[in-house]
Structure 1
Amino acid sequence: MSDSAIGLIETRGLIGALEAADTAAKAADVQLLGVERVGGGLVSVRFRGDTASVQAAVSAASAAVLKVSELVSAHVIPSPAIDVEGTFPERSSSPVPPAPPTPAVAPPQDLESLPVTRLRQLARQTAGISLQGREISRANKNQLLDALGAAYGGAWQESDRS
């Protein structure tokens, strides 16, 4: 792109970055390239478009960030070199399909081999379990196995344990 530009805004915290991305997209005709957590609480927002649009977007987004968060840096790179522009991949218009769901709860015959901490996690994820909240935290392995077995519809019984 000959008249293209890249806009960069760095904020402290995710809320400021989301506000920057939203305001930039609404203020001018720019394409959001991404929001990236840099580390140490810093979040970077990148977008591209024609130079005038990117300058308007950076200006509007910078002002909006100051209302909700801390603006660390804002910069416009007009007519970036091809090498620089290549570091920001084009966003694909087709969404990435979600990964197939994995079962949250192991089959009843495998529960006894699990540690108590994993049984507690499964108990919190299982609908219709008799234990709630702190009861799950305080339950021992046998109590967790009984509650999970009851949630399975009686598929796990006391006689199954050795």
Structure 2
Amino acid sequence: MADTLNYITPAGMKAMIEAHRALFEVERPKIVEIVSWAAGNGDRSENGDYIYGRKRLREIDRELTRISKRLKNARVVDPAKQPDKARVFFGATVTVADEDDRQRTVTIVGEDETDTPRGHISWRAPLAIALKGAGVGDLRTVRLPSGLQELEIVSIAYPTASCVISDSRSLL
């Protein structure tokens, strides 16, 4: 998975860059300072600040490595520039209705941007795969944990403008 493309929206890319910067430029230096201070206090075997600080540094470094790999393989796809806004593709906000006419709205985003409570689903999710290429009024069957479900596409929307992102390569 590390070598596969990481499709992401401009907003998602901006959020990942900001998360990397916050860890690298703010949180990590604070923890390094605490660990240095704690190390100077003598016996490290029972020094909670030192033990916790070293553990937290390892967690931060793992997360920095993960984010760096994801940024390296990122391919920004701007949904605002989608040429066919009448069909469902990456970045679309889609409202679907089930057989009982219950509606649900989802936005198809990158794997690092998923937030199910907000309706942001991965482009690799079964629902997103089933909706890909559909137009308003089309029926699609999707296999969900609850079983097969037929959905009708009620509406499709794309953002009208994209956010500006800075160069992510400077972080790598």
- Pairwise same-fold verdict (TM > 0.5): no
Give the TM-score range, shorter chain.
under 0.3
Higher relative contact order (Cα pairs below 8 Å, separated by 6+ residues): 2
User: Which structure: larger Rg?
Assistant: 1
